[in-house]
A and B are shown apart, each in its own frame.
Chain A
């Protein structure tokens, strides 16, 4: 079996595991859906767009990001400690397959999650957008999951299972609060929030919905964060090679 198909086989196994994990399904799928169902009918508007659209971005992002981030960081840290990564290194798989399979599983499961939320927005929330705008929103959120998956890899390789839990909680709280995933960021905080990838993801979604334009500056910020976190993850994985 070639190394690519071996990595895919491992990715499939990761997907099987995630689909069996009730905690994962609750936080990434059930919770965002329930929250959206209870909030979507609000008539208020925010930043020129109705809350039913705004909450759709937020809930879809929250579910996708928490799945990619919390779940991967905890598992990688635990599986590093348990020696599963060592075990895999004795197989014919190339050394990076473990991380690649995690990303594959994350990406593969996040795509339908985002799609479900978009469908919910269209048919339950009654949001009527052209296909290309839906696509821009979905792809942006999906790109965001990559950022969080990369950060999760870095944290999972750096930290022990005992310390990883509070750290990811704080980090996720930071990005979700300042990014405006819980409620809109206003006033002086907004200047600061501009620098976070989460804020920019919501911004792209908002702009495309309101004006039908894409905020290229926001895309730039997101890509910079992605590059930084991928760099951190690569460094952490290489650095841990002897300690695994």
Chain B
């Protein structure tokens, strides 16, 4: 089942996970290519952890199929090709850090030297401490050490830097880049846009279990960095508004117009130049949270009446994904 060719390392084919009436993951389709560093970005409850749990064979999809190295994820994991760090992964108490890392390394078919692993995870300083006596940030680094205790081809990290302070976080990513530089594929979930931006070659934005955008950080940032503009305007001319420069999305309720735009100045000038005199003009930057809300709202409209024109490669990449 070796797959050293150019096939995808991971592929989700229309994968869903349903809990009772709730769809945690809803028709997710994506491929990870060898050597990529991919961020799975989304707010809390977006389905990131569920997706990773299914990828790591901890949960079974209720629909669709997940392949890892072209085969069953369970077998890939049991043959040691995946190093993973879970948000909810606990540690065995009552043993020392060194004992725990040695144990997990000894369970791996291709273990790495324990000392080197401890060093690159930055836990060699407290090797003889009891696991149950560590701080949150230290625990997180031990989890990371367990993920890289053996030679692996794919690293999967769920919210790896939660509970880490700024300095630890910086060190963590420095180590991570070294791991990836050796040709490994990295998939990590995060809700920090900045982190995805700095570390990833590619960002997958998911919300409510669906893939909303797939692109480079620059492409995604452009979307998330858009501004929201609203004003009142009598006799709304929808085709005109859709043709405004920079416009990403449009929403009209009675005489209130809401626009998401990449260039708020150009959009507003175009409205004024056309002779309109809107009132109650408001322009606001989209924060991270709002950017997600905006992207989600846009996605919801895709399923309703087509009222939006979209430009840019992130949008077309998203279109491709959501059309599948």
Contacts and interface: CB of A to CB of B under 8 A. Distances in A.
Contacts of B147: 90
B234 to A, nearest CB: 56
A19 B84 CA distance: 30
B53 to A, nearest CB: 9
B92 A9 contact: no
Interface residues of A, number: 25
A71 to B, nearest CB: 12
A183 B88 CA distance: 46
Contacts of A6: 106-107
Q: Chain B: interface secondary structure?
A: loop
Contact of B109 (A1, A84, A94, A244): A1
Nearest to A75: B93
Interface in A84-117: 84-87, 89-94
B86 A10 contact: no
Contact of B107 (A1, A20, A86): A1
B113 to A, nearest CB: 15
Interface in B95-115: 95, 99, 103-104, 106-109
Contact of A17 (B88, B93, B106): B93
11 contacts: A9-B107, A13-B103, A79-B92, A82-B90, A83-B88, A83-B89, A86-B90, A89-B56, A90-B82, A90-B86, A91-B107
A20 B108 CA distance: 26
Nearest to B149: A91
A83 B92 CA distance: 9
Interface in B73-94: 77-80, 82, 84, 86, 88-94
B58 A10 contact: no
Given A16-B99, A83-B89, 9 more contacts: A20-B94, A21-B94, A83-B90, A84-B90, A84-B91, A86-B86, A90-B86, A90-B89, A242-B59
A10 B105 CA distance: 11
A83 B84 CA distance: 13
B162 to A, nearest CB: 14
B103 A244 contact: no
B60 interface: yes
Interface of A: 1, 6, 9-10, 13, 16-17, 20-21, 79, 81-87, 89-94, 242, 244
Contacts of A13: 92, 95, 99, 103
B146 interface: yes
Q: Chain A: interface secondary structure?
A: helix
Contacts of B84: 90
A84 B94 CA distance: 13
Contacts of A91: 104, 107-108
Nearest to B143: A87
Kindly list the 4 A-B residue pairs having the minimum CB-CB distance in the complex, ordered from nearest: A82-B90, A83-B90, A84-B90, A87-B89
Given A79-B92, A87-B91, A92-B79, A9 B106 contact: yes
A84 B89 CA distance: 6
A82 B90 CA distance: 5
A86 B88 contact: yes
A95 to B, nearest CB: 9
Contacts of A242: 59-60
A172 B273 CA distance: 84
Contacts of B59: 242
Nearest to B104: A91
Contacts of B77: 90, 92
A92 B94 contact: no
A84 B99 CA distance: 15
A85 B99 CA distance: 17
Nearest to A82: B90
B277 to A, nearest CB: 60
Contacts of A84: 89-92
B95 A16 contact: yes
A10 to B, nearest CB: 7
A87 B107 contact: no
Nearest to A81: B90
Nearest to A91: B107
A92 B88 CA distance: 19
Nearest to A16: B95
B103 A9 contact: yes
A93 B108 CA distance: 8
A6 B111 CA distance: 13
Contacts of B78: 92, 94
A92 B103 contact: no
A10 B93 contact: no
Contacts of B106: 1, 6, 9
A93 B89 contact: no
A200 B91 CA distance: 39
A240 to B, nearest CB: 12
